[in-house]
Structure 1
């Protein structure tokens, strides 16, 4: 990335042209560039709407070399803040804010803001984002070009009313390259001006919304795309596993009642007249329902499989009207109100109870007799349903590790998925196994995992497993909820990566809870934009399940990188791998 001085047109075009020439003629030896040079440039023309933008060529200096020069310039460090709260404003030292972050003690200048500078705000000030130094330059470049990065910069400029795009970018870049990473205080110290005016209420609101695990995952996106790409010739096959089958689909809704647990569970069953092979069970995500993957259920049924999609009481859309992870999870204790800890046990038990009931139904005269193979089951789960699938697959919950994570980690350093997993910390057990040995395969789509299984709990999964991750997932970020867990798996495993996909991209567009799409920095990719991902899911899921049948060899070709990459589009890079390259493993280890 190179430096460009980009001037918006003022009323006097001749003056603007002269100022443009003057700026282009400035010596750009940034090792000697004092802090006030940026301020001088900013004041050249009152018609400027922004003084500096990063884009094309005015100088041959790279962004990395500019940053190195700036880091070598001690003058580039803000030490004074003007904190603004409505009509009231007060000058304070950055050092006072740093001291408050470390000790919780308010200096004389900060005391007027005591009502806002709560212990929760102290946590916000200590929240840090760290990036592997070996990819810091690439991460900064990608973040500042991404829509999420642009949105973040816009929000910061609301909190710092007099800031320019360039000043915010420089401060972010310099702070990220520091040994202790990016924090509110390190950002302020790196800001290229000697004094900063901060709108305190706006700044706190923005800090509450910043999703550190998601931004951290963004640092690995470009690395994923390059590392997971497998050079191959164009993919071709004699048939398309994502095309609808020829069979006529039947659907029946039943309700099963578990009186021991007081659970009423609606179930949609899909099949055709010639259904055979493994039974497929679909588990929905938090605040969704059994219709969230209807298109997938109907596709698999059209290919000769029986599918049962169930509702989980206490974590579905019906029992949680209006629940929104993005907007509601902002204060302590809310997670427990939305999701009881017992749901982490009840969900896997719902599946086991369903299999018991379907085993009985399979023996009864009727249209479903002989079509419910409960001894050979493939479980597909999305989000919290992904956790459910891995639990019944044999994953061991490590609740002591989870409790440590939830207690030590700043409340505001968590993604929506982290909030949900921490609800399980109230369970009394230390370790917990909820495996159902009738489950022969597991597919976890954007699963909520995090620390639920600790560092080794997923190593106990001994059945074929497929994990789907989307790099734009702000609710269950790639790094902590999918890549780390995938690296734990020891048996046959597949990783599908949708570079550019989001948490709800795989959801049925006709059965999507719109409130779940209300996230802070990320627009959910759904509808037609996400169609390539849904096509890949239909093809890969069918091929994966068919590995339990005599047709396994015919479908193996669709469990390859070539097939996934063939469905990529300019906006969505799709990958399928069975291992993580060594450079990604190293990054995963560093980021823990």
Structure 2
């Protein structure tokens, strides 16, 4: 995106505010004073009913930028779907602004201030007076969620910076292809009477299974079929897989609430990981039965979790809940600063603890797919993870955006760790195309990318998951080549670039660390 900048010396100084038949001219400095102090200047008294604390937070919500990549970030931000939507909304509220003038305001603010916030952009717009429809402007504030914008802004940066310069990938076999084992499947239901929990599971195994156990834990509102294709794939290569289904309990004890602060009961953040630990206890007993004797290695377990299940996988691997930090975030942040994953995590603030560990020593590896973990482990809880980890992030995930929910948390994790980055995939892209309802995906607040369009991602997940789980077997070195950038890029397509890395490049790491401070 090439921006033609205006001659220096022009910047917005006055706003003409329209509210129905009323029209008033104010200084931009008056709005800046309100944003900085929370006090409503006399010039803004007419609009006081609109100047809520949430609106003020939207004005001051800031995206910090590293000067070395700020130009690239802003260009990608304005090119993204979310960026274009906000630009269109701003122009609806301020119709006398041309698209080029508005874009120039964003670019100049980023260059001059090393960051973006509403006031900074407003002051940088190269036009002396701007006419604004107040009611439309208040509506725009709800779109100024920079957490999602941050993920949108760095999509192409991730695509370019995580690209490995290597020759064509060659391997003696394809880990994404079905294995040679005949897969058997059976449903069990385990009852934990002490906790009043009923846990259906699907168990997949083969006749020669002697390998570590894999447990799959789904996300919020998903069932045990969510990753059925992955379960069958691993079982066809000789692993026993138990896909669990958790009870769906809201805060009031009934099925899901539609109140964003009561999506799930606080206790579920403890009970779901405990469901897995209870399941391992029961499978250890089942391991002594005639039909499954020796096939359930509950002392060497890999937990695979998606979304809320990804949180559970990392908690079982040793990540420590930092509930004091979570409470502070949920107390001080507003609706415009939170993404859906934040609302989900804020439900855990009702737990009585300050810090909490749910570590299960039997869990030796963790795979977290699109995990919702931006706040619940605080700034250092993930440093307590005691196992190798594999994280999947998707750049178009609006429910658990990459920036805050996976990329920043990834920096905390100790090695060995792996990051799969799927450029253009969404929150539910890894779901089973047969068993997970497309209609359910359409019922979410965002457009999901599923089906054939994301088949390369599912293939990569099958191959990398197999290689990752196999690191706990004597065949570890045989599968190591499939935990490389070259393998991921061999499945990449122009429509769905795929990356696999063990660390982030320094320029992205620096920016991610910088933004964490604000």
User: Same fold per TM (> 0.5)?
Assistant: yes
State which structure, 1 or 2, has the greater radius of gyration over its C-alpha atoms. 1
Q: Deviations over 1:150-189 (max 9, x none)?
A: 2222222223234322122122222333427322222322
Distance 1:131 1:321, change over 3 A: farther
Distance 1:403 1:322, change over 3 A: closer
Q: Tell me if structure 2 keeps the 8 A contact 1:561–1:575.
A: yes
Tell me the distance in 2 between the aligned counterparts of 1:548 and 1:449. Answer: 25
Tell me the distance in 2 between the aligned counterparts of 1:320 and 1:285. Answer: 18
Match in the other structure for 2:266 = 341
Instruction: Provide the secondary structure at the position in 1 that maps to 2:336.
Output: helix
Tell me the distance in 1 between the aligned counterparts of 2:314 and 2:98. Answer: 47
Match in the other structure for 1:81 = 16
Distance 1:132 1:519, change over 3 A: farther
Tell me whether 1:431 sits opposite 2:366 in the alignment: no
Give the counterpart of 1:545 among 469, 475, 478. 469
Q: Tell me if structure 2 keeps the 8 A contact 1:83–1:92.
A: no
Shift of 1:434: 0.4
Give the counterpart of 1:536 among 460, 469, 487. 460
Instruction: Provide the secondary structure at the position in 2 that maps to 1:134.
Output: coil
Q: Tell me if structure 2 keeps the 8 A contact 1:446–1:469.
A: yes
Q: Deviations over 1:370-398 (max 9, x none)?
A: 32221111100111111100000111112
Shift of 1:517: 5.4
1:241-260 matched pairs, under 5 angstroms: 241-260=175-194
Shift of 1:516: 5.2
Match in the other structure for 1:506 = 430
Shift of 1:544: 0.8
Provide TM-score, normalisation by structure 1.
Answer: 0.81
Instruction: Provide the secondary structure at the position in 2 that maps to 1:209.
Output: coil
Match in the other structure for 1:101 = 35
Instruction: Provide the secondary structure at the position in 1 that maps to 2:495.
Output: coil
Tell me the distance in 2 between the aligned counterparts of 1:504 and 1:478. Answer: 13
Q: Tell me if structure 2 keeps the 8 A contact 1:123–1:411.
A: no
Tell me the distance in 1 between the aligned counterparts of 2:66 and 2:127. Answer: 27
Distance 1:89 1:368, change over 3 A: farther
Tell me whether 1:364 sits opposite 2:299 in the alignment: no
Residues paired across the two proteins, number? 513
Match in the other structure for 1:486 = 410
Give the counterpart of 1:405 among 326, 329, 344. 329
Match in the other structure for 1:292 = 226
Q: Tell me if structure 2 keeps the 8 A contact 1:99–1:105.
A: yes
Q: Deviations over 1:181-211 (max 9, x none)?
A: 3222223222333333333333323321332
Tell me the distance in 2 between the aligned counterparts of 1:474 and 1:320. Answer: 27
Match in the other structure for 1:267 = 201
Shift of 1:451: 2.7
Shift of 1:122: 2.3
Tell me the distance in 2 between the aligned counterparts of 1:565 and 1:315. Answer: 40
1:125-524 matched pairs, under 5 angstroms: 125-179=59-113, 181-314=115-248, 334-365=259-290, 367-510=291-434, 511-512=436-437, 514=439, 523-524=447-448
Tell me the distance in 1 between the aligned counterparts of 2:438 and 2:276. Answer: 23
Tell me the distance in 2 between the aligned counterparts of 1:519 and 1:142. Answer: 25
Distance 1:583 1:461, change over 3 A: same
Shift of 1:436: 0.6
Structure 1, 263-272 or 195-204: larger mean CA deviation:
195-204
Tell me whether 1:575 sits opposite 2:499 in the alignment: yes
Distance 1:275 1:88, change over 3 A: farther
Tell me the distance in 2 between the aligned counterparts of 1:508 and 1:202. Answer: 41
Distance 1:407 1:74, change over 3 A: farther
Shift of 1:518: 6.3
Tell me the distance in 1 between the aligned counterparts of 2:248 and 2:111. Answer: 44
Q: Tell me if structure 1 keeps the 8 A contact 2:261–2:343.
A: no
Tell me the distance in 2 between the aligned counterparts of 1:375 and 1:537. Answer: 24
Structure 1: segments with no counterpart, 5+ residues: 3-62, 329-333
Tell me the distance in 1 between the aligned counterparts of 2:249 and 2:495. Answer: 33
Q: Tell me if structure 2 keeps the 8 A contact 1:288–1:512.
A: no
Shift of 1:138: 0.8
Instruction: Provide the secondary structure at the position in 2 that maps to 1:376.
Output: strand
Structure 2: segments with no counterpart, 5+ residues: none
Provide TM-score, normalisation by structure 2.
Answer: 0.92
Tell me the distance in 2 between the aligned counterparts of 1:509 and 1:158. Answer: 39
Tell me whether 1:558 sits opposite 2:493 in the alignment: no
Instruction: Provide the secondary structure at the position in 2 that maps to 1:355.
Output: helix
**What's the C-alpha RMSD, in Å, of the aligned pairs?**
2.5
Tell me the distance in 2 between the aligned counterparts of 1:575 and 1:509. Answer: 22
Q: Deviations over 1:131-166 (max 9, x none)?
A: 222211111222222333222222222232343221
Tell me the distance in 1 between the aligned counterparts of 2:386 and 2:223. Answer: 28
Tell me the distance in 2 between the aligned counterparts of 1:258 and 1:92. Answer: 64
Q: Tell me if structure 1 keeps the 8 A contact 2:418–2:503.
A: yes
Higher normalized contact order (CA 8 Å, seq sep 6+, divided by chain length): 2
